[in-house]
Amino acid sequence: MALPNGAYAPIPSPLDAEGLLDPVALDRHLGFLAGEGLDGALILGTNGEFPSFEVSERLALAEAAARFAQGLSLMLGVGSSALPEVIQLVQAAQYFGYQSVLVPPPFYFRSAPVEGLVGFFKKVLDAAEIPVLLYHIPQVTGIEINDDILEAVVDHPRFGGVKDSSGKLSEIDRFNARLGEHSYMVGHDRLLSTARAAGGSGSITASASVVPALVAATQRDSGQQPELDAVRDLLEKYGLGPAVKAVLRQKGFGDYRTRPPLVDLDDESADKLVVEFEELMKF
């Protein structure tokens, strides 16, 4: 079972000015990422704003990305608090030819016991025919992928590893000590080199959507980490998700709008961001 590794981008889901999915923008973006040397792409993760889309839209986006992959290894985010929806999306990923799926905890049920969370993940693993990575982002889901959960699923034949977007240094060692040969994919740009040095498998980080060559280079050589940190600092200054979409809009890939409750950058802020981004790219 081939496990995810290398540098991935968590794709922002492209919406046009009317708020509809834009497959042309998706095609352009994936082509750009492949041409810049990335290894893979995560479709419908956190940066893909997956809770904003109904299942039919998510299936349409997943199918379109599979058509436009251009050699990228694809991972599909299958997050939902409804187990049947998660399994439906896992089966769709397999049908469309994805190489792996990413499943967060059932985030609405923050008080669920470990036994229930393990039961949820095991049902997903049993339904899968491709590697399943658990998504550790407790600042969003309110649920940790703790040691008890890992111990209960690590020996399942479809368990592929963890994407860790906690942003905590301590979690790098915790996961790497328990995952063995499974994938550890760090989810924060600033920790990319540290995770690689600790034996991590790769990264799925926001900056990869706009500076893929820099992220791919940093995955190979920690000497590029300061430049990547500067990009991340700039994006966070304007708000990570909206800033990534504003840069993609400026690059001409598409409108890259959001749906409420999320909000696009206003025109003045977007213009300032683009000026600073272009100046930063001179390093």
Write out the catalytic residue numbers: 46, 108, 135, 163
Q: What angle do CA 240, 243, 249 make, to 5 degrees?
A: 145
The sign one gets for the Cα dihedral 44, 49, 51, 53 is negative
